[in-house]
Amino acid sequence: MAIDLTVNGTPQRVEADPDTPLLYVLRDDLGLNGAKFGCGLGQCGACTVMVDGRAVLSCVTPVLLMQGRAVTTVEGLGTAEAPGPMQRAFIEEQAAQCGYCIPGMMMRAQALLQERPDADDAAIRRALEFNLCRCGTHMRILRAIRRAADTMRHAETAAPNGRAG
């Protein structure tokens, strides 16, 4: 069946079996590498994307539910040439070893900070409980998210039309 959705700001129409997890649609039909297959069970968070601003595990989300929804993947946060604040923070903190889990981490953190720009360390850890890292990059991931939170707060206060942080 045909599903109309918005991915990283671009309207897309995809033809897929309705039970197909969003993950496969993003990766195989739309060629987006950011969301990763990790468990297919919603246990590890490697496939985390944002749907209408909330963190969603794309490996257990049938594309059927995505009609009319707005999906953001890590590609929607910026590019290698012009990384967004979250990506820049991860690059600056060198917060990756193999890096496989990192896009999921970034999307989980992005969803958290969009909803709660003032999220403290405890809130960040709590949100990240759903995301596994096996290389042990956790210290850097936490640092990167704190850095991104700072950047995003400053950007908001600096921007003329920005909401109050």
Partner 1 sequence: MGRRKTRRNSIGRGLIGGAAVILALGAGAVAWAWESAIPPQPRPAAESFPAELVAEGARLAAVGNCIACHTVPGGRSFAGGLALPTPFGTIHSTNITPDEDTGIGRWSEAAFTRAMRRGVDRDGRHLYPAFPYDHYTRVSDADNRALYAYLMTRTPVRAEAPANHLPFPLNIRMAVAGWKLLYFREGAFTPDPAKPEVWNRGAYLAEGLGHCGACHSPRNALGAVDKDRAWAGGEAEGWTAYPIDQDSPAPVPWTADSLTFYLRHGWHPAHGVSRGPMAEVTGNLVGLPDADVAAIGAYVADRMGPPSAERLRRGEDLRALVSRRTADAGAPPGAGPTAADSQARPPAADSGRTGGDERGEAIYRTACATCHESGRPLPFGGLPFALSTAVNAANPQNIVNVTLFGLPPGDGTVSAVMPAFGGALTDADMVALLRYLRGRFSDQPPWDGLERLVADTRSGAHHVAVRPADGIERAPQNVGAAD
Partner 2 sequence: MSDHSPLPLTRRGLLAAGGALVVTVSLARPLPAQTGDGGGARPPKPAPGSLAQTPRLDAWVRIGADGAITVFTGKAELGQGIRTALLQVAAEELRVPPAAITLVTADTARTPNEGYTAGSQSMQNSGTAIRAAAAQARALLAQEAARRLGAPADALGFADKRVTAPDGRTLGYGELAASLDLTVEVPADAPLTAPDRLSVMGQPLPRVDIPAKMTGGAAYVQDLRPEGMLHARVVRPPSPAARLTALDGAAVEAMPGVVAVLRDGDFLAVVADKEYRAVKAMRALASAARWEEPATLPGDTPIPDLLRSLEREVGTVDAKGDAGPIADGPRSLRARFTRPYQLHGSIGPSCAVAVMGEDGLTVWSHTQGVYPDRKAIAEMLRLPLDRVRVIHTEGSGCYGHNGADDAAADAALIASKLPGRPVRVQWMREQEHAGEPYGPAMMIEAAASLDGNGRIDRWTFDVWSNTHTTRPGGAGALLAARHLAEPFPAEAAAMQITPAGNGDRNAIPLYAIPNTRILWHFLPDMPLRVSALRSLGAYANVFALESMMDDLALLAGADPVEFRLRHLEDPRARRVVELAAERFGWTGAAPAPGFGHGFAFARYKNHAAYLALAVELSVDRGSGRVRMTRATAAIDSGEIVNPDGIRNQTEGGIIQAMSWTLFERAVYDDTRVTSVDWASYPILRFASVPDRIDVHIVERPGDPFLGTGEAAQGPTAAAIGNAIRSATGLRLRDLPFTPDRVREPTASG
Q: Which residues bind partner 2 (CB under 8 A)?
A: 16-17, 19-21, 24, 27-28, 31-34, 36-41, 43-44, 46, 73-75, 77-80, 83, 87, 90-91, 94, 96-103, 106, 125-126, 128-129, 131-140, 142
Task: Select 43 or 67, whichever has its Cβ closest to partner 2.
Answer: 43
Distances (CA, A) of 55 to 1, 82, 125, 135: 25, 23, 15, 23
Taking CB under 8 A as the rule, does residue 42 contact partner 1? yes
Three-class secondary structure of residue 28 per DSSP: helix
Q: Are 108 and 86 in contact (CB under 8 A)?
A: no
Strands (E) in 30-135, as ranges, are: 48-51, 54-57, 70-72
136 binds, among partner 1, partner 2, none (CB under 5 to 8 A by kind): partner 2
90 binds, among partner 1, partner 2, none (CB under 5 to 8 A by kind): partner 2
